[in-house]
Structure 1
Amino acid sequence: MFLMHKPSGDIVEVMDLEALFDPFRIEVEGRFHAGEEMQDPTGFRKSDMLFLSGEHMPRCWVDPHYKERRI
């Protein structure tokens, strides 16, 4: 899956989708898709990622307490 890295605006290929969907994980492994050579995988904070459309990730992917009621 491809997401956008907010600080740089570059596209990131997420390598571990299970980590992306797990709300208890704050970081995912991915690699930038910029330049001519394939980049080495590195860790990215999920809070620094957006969908390519600019939308934020679903709360159930980033907040372990998403089922709790907000008051």
Structure 2
Amino acid sequence: MLLKIKVSGSLVEACSLSELTDPCSKHIRVKQLRGYRNAKPVHLLKTDLVFVSGEELPNCWMEVNARGRRDSLARAS
């Protein structure tokens, strides 16, 4: 899956979709897309990445209790 680094706007490819969607993992291995050479994977924080469209990654991919927090916030208001 292609993603974009927030700060630089560079495109990267996620090495593992399961690693990307795992809320227990704060980092993900990605390959930078530069030229035609196969880049070595590097580790980046998920919080530094967005979809190519600029949209943030879903909370359920980032936080273990994302659903529980949302439900408790809804009940509190």
TM-score, reference length from structure 1: 0.90
Question: How many pairs align?
Answer: 71
Q: Give the Å deviation of 1:7.
A: 2.0
2-structure distance, mates of 1:24, 1:36 = 33
The corresponding residue for 2:28 is 28
1-structure distance, mates of 2:38, 2:9 = 18
Going by fraction, where is helix more abundant, 1 or 2?
2
Structure 1 residue ranges (4+ consecutive) displaced by more than 2 angstroms after TM superposition: 35-38
2-structure distance, mates of 1:24, 1:2 = 21
The corresponding residue for 1:44 is 44
TM-score, reference length from structure 2: 0.84
Is the partner of 1:55 in helix, strand or coil?
A: coil
Unaligned runs of 5+ in 1: none
Structure showing greater Rg = 2
**Worse overlay, 28-37 or 49-58:** 28-37
Aligned counterparts, 1:1-71, within 5 A: 1-68=1-68, 69-70=72-73, 71=76
